[in-house]
Chains A and B, each alone.
Chain A
């Protein structure tokens, strides 16, 4: 009996959290479109979520592109198909690795930062203070972060795509004796715009998930410093898992 009860209790728990998250998301999205808007906050978030993530995304992309090129070259060599390497690298980066790896790095960098900042604001009653100053915390804190996530993530993905393909090119030209012109021409003529666009759409969704997880866990943090630590961990883990889950769903729809 107790096993059944435990399963029931944890199921109810899970559904409850899912419901809470859904309500939070709806309120956050609604706040994105309802004035007043806080331009300064939005600008600050564009800067900290978008601009400051560029180095991380760029470095991840260049090394991934390079490693991918080596692996595909090795694999292709087994049936004399090394020459197709540029096309596979381009496809792999734009459709899958560009958006997913950028999102994973941002899940670590951005979700954690958002959860810690908002969680600390909760712990020190700054969110309550906002309300007593006639300011809706959803509009002031949540909406700018969600907007910045949705807008900057595809831009970062695009940057990651270019840098990732460049990483593959670098390895190919420097160590695998590929012809530079040919590599670029092959990549360019093979890629279809949908390959890139579908990756950017993924970027939008991932950006929303990353910002939402940071905001949700920070906003609902409780229990002082330990609570902030816990909500930061939860934000990163849940953002990363949701990114992978959504990646599969989106990929199956956008083949």
Chain B
């Protein structure tokens, strides 16, 4: 966990968060360099989602700071933050598509509502993005509820990348998908992150996905980062937490109380 010399794209410094007397995050430090992909792994209830929400700005930490491009955005209000949000994209676990809007309106949402792109042009760009995630064009005029879970994930990805963000967040991108669809989503994530040349931060408990999409992996347990290293080296570590997690054993230092 050495401090890199160039300004990291995203940095969490000493972040703590308590819910109902239970300490979810205990002084967590994470930084991601520009253009790198970090995957945070960990068992359920160990604070992965909270870490991601704090990094994105959807939740405020009790203590600690969040930096993006060296700018402190911990205290920024929604309105000011949206300027920074303009440069970030997020794929939600359940895709979080707006069910009252058609697929293309979902994908074009930011273009139309925040960037004030004319509707016709926004629609064209949305359809282009829909095609890039491997969906047929006629999906554009359907409603999200008419799509399968995998298709919804693809639309969510198209929505996250359509405005060319320079940092992307993925919340459990493969949870609830079959192995083949998971692999397709992993491929698409790698492809899009590479195409945009952007930074990526993901949380997952799917080791397959973590190995595929991560340059680096960090493991969160008991509100702390217990291991961090290049994705390739995760099979060589003797860290007992990581060993137990990647081998999926019921017995070890991690007890299943969550």
Contact = CB atoms under 8 A, between A and B. Distances in A.
Contacts of A128: 53, 58, 90, 92, 96
Q: Closest 9 CB pairs between A and B?
A: A134-B114, A129-B96, A125-B96, A133-B110, A132-B90, A134-B82, A125-B92, A134-B85, A134-B86
A124 interface: yes
A140 B114 CA distance: 11
Interface in B53-100: 53, 56-58, 78-79, 81-83, 85-86, 88-90, 92-94, 96-99
A131 to B, nearest CB: 6
Contact of B96 (A126, A134, A136, A138): A126
Interface of B is mostly: mixed
Contact of B89 (A121, A132, A138): A132
A251 interface: no
Given A125-B92, A135-B82, A38 B56 contact: no
B92 A135 contact: no
B48 interface: no
Contacts of B81: 131
B109 interface: yes
Contact of A131 (B78, B83, B94, B159): B78
Interface residues of A, number: 17
Contacts of B82: 131, 134-136
A68 to B, nearest CB: 40
Contacts of B92: 125, 128-129
Interface of B: 53, 56-58, 78-79, 81-83, 85-86, 88-90, 92-94, 96-99, 109-110, 113-115, 159-160, 169
B98 A129 contact: yes
Contacts of B99: 124, 126
Contact of A126 (B58, B98, B115, B160): B98
Interface of A: 36, 38, 121, 124-126, 128-129, 131-138, 140
A131 B85 contact: yes
Contacts of A121: 98
Nearest to A36: B113
A129 B110 contact: no
B30 to A, nearest CB: 19
A125 B113 contact: no
A124 B79 contact: no
B38 to A, nearest CB: 18
Given A124-B99, A131-B81, A136-B78, 16 more contacts: A124-B94, A125-B93, A125-B94, A125-B96, A129-B92, A131-B82, A132-B56, A132-B58, A132-B85, A132-B88, A132-B89, A132-B160, A133-B159, A134-B115, A135-B109, A140-B113
A20 to B, nearest CB: 16
A85 B128 CA distance: 69
Contacts of A38: 113
25 contacts: A36-B113, A38-B113, A121-B98, A124-B94, A124-B96, A125-B93, A125-B96, A126-B96, A128-B92, A129-B90, A129-B96, A129-B98, A131-B57, A131-B58, A131-B82, A132-B56, A132-B85, A132-B90, A132-B169, A133-B109, A133-B113, A133-B159, A134-B86, A134-B110, A134-B113
Nearest to A140: B113
A5 to B, nearest CB: 18
Contacts of A125: 92-94, 96
Nearest to B156: A129
